[in-house]
Amino acid sequence: MMRLPRFEYRAPASIADAVAAKADAPPDAMYVAGGTDLYPNMKRRHQVPGTLIALHGVEELRGIDTRADGGISIGAGATLTAVRRDPRVRACWPALAETCRLISTPILQNMGTLGGNLLLDTRCNYYDQSFDWRSAIDFCMKKDGSICWVAPSSPRCWAVQSADTVPLLVALGADVDLASVSGKRRVPVAALYRDDGIVYLAKQRDELLTHVHLPAPNGWRVVYRKVRRRGAFDFPVLGVGAWVRFAGDGSVAEARVVLGGVGSSPEVVESASVALVGGRLEDEAIEAAATAAWKAGRPLDNTDFTISWRKEMILPTVARALRELRGAP
């Protein structure tokens, strides 16, 4: 049986108390919300914080509120179940509700939070193993070692970003609030990530992700497509977020195609956007955009299935996502 290491447990009741607790805690302190990723990682000794600052008692982090501009603000501590069941999300942002439904299992959706999914640790076949397994082959550079077993000659870690909500929210152009004792700032979801398997988040150590802000529905459509081995539970080996905004004449005014599960950060494929903007969402444009995404995506041998199969799945998955946006099966 894998057991948790010993740690100090703090339970603040407000955002102000939480950020104050983090500022006062040792450098290795971590926030924990649902704990569906952190606690298993602690059992495998991937992370061994001496202090945990629990967020489940912070009511401010669980609200879902409509804004005057027609958008919606979702507390980072709202569970995936609460998000996918919220009637406003289902009515105006159904792709987010569906994405939350695709994450893990209903039991873990009751515990896992939207903010926790956005900040999910990067994953790798050589990293997401028990302590004994990793010690048997020698540790990787992501934890306790000096080599990347995916690319042994590489100077960096190639662990992959595998959170389902990330490609969708990056494509959607959502923003997040980050709070610390120094104040609050709002940044695009895309600005949260770095292309590094170890230092994969761009936020500061003492910052707390408090809210996710979705834009008002206004002539755009967004969809998320997921590829995984089983129809439930599994992490994506490929996630595709696709967003388009239509002009008055029905042509594509703006577009974003985002790949998840192929690199250490979500990959916005600019060449796919170029292939779509200015014309109608017809088969030729869809094929061109999907081909551009296929060329850009470079998966590595760090998750389920073979590299070549995961690569080949980019083209049909992007094409299906774009056809869904067009309204065709």
Domains and CATH numbers, the chain: 1-60 (3.30.43.10), 61-119+160-214 (3.30.465.10), 220-326 (3.30.390.50)
Beta strands 51-54; 8-10: pairing state: parallel
Whole-prediction pTM:
0.96
* Residue 237: DSSP 8-state: S
> Cα(28)–Cα(48) distance, rounded to whole angstroms?
8
> Cα(35)–Cα(22) distance, rounded to whole angstroms?
17
Q: What is the pLDDT of residue 329?
A: 56
Q: Which two tokens stand for residue 76?
A: 């980072």
Provide DSSP, 198-225.
Answer: SS-B-S-TT-EEEEEEEPPPSSEEEEEE
Q: What is the pLDDT of residue 232?
A: 85
Nearest alpha-carbon partner for 264 in 316, 196, 326, 319: 196
> Cα(269)–Cα(283) distance, rounded to whole angstroms?
19
Q: What is the pLDDT of residue 295?
A: 97
Where does 142-278 have alpha helices with state H?
Answer: 165-172, 270-276
Per-residue pLDDT of the chain (329 residues; tens, 9 = 90+): 789 999 999 999 999 999 999 999 999 999 999 999 999 999 999 999 999 999 999 999 999 999 999 999 999 999 999 999 999 999 999 999 999 999 999 999 999 999 999 999 999 999 999 999 999 999 999 999 999 999 999 999 999 999 999 999 999 999 999 999 999 999 999 999 999 999 999 999 999 999 999 999 998 999 999 999 998 889 999 999 999 999 999 999 999 999 999 999 999 999 999 999 999 999 999 999 999 999 999 998 899 999 999 999 999 999 999 999 998 65
Q: Which two tokens stand for residue 237?
A: 């080996």
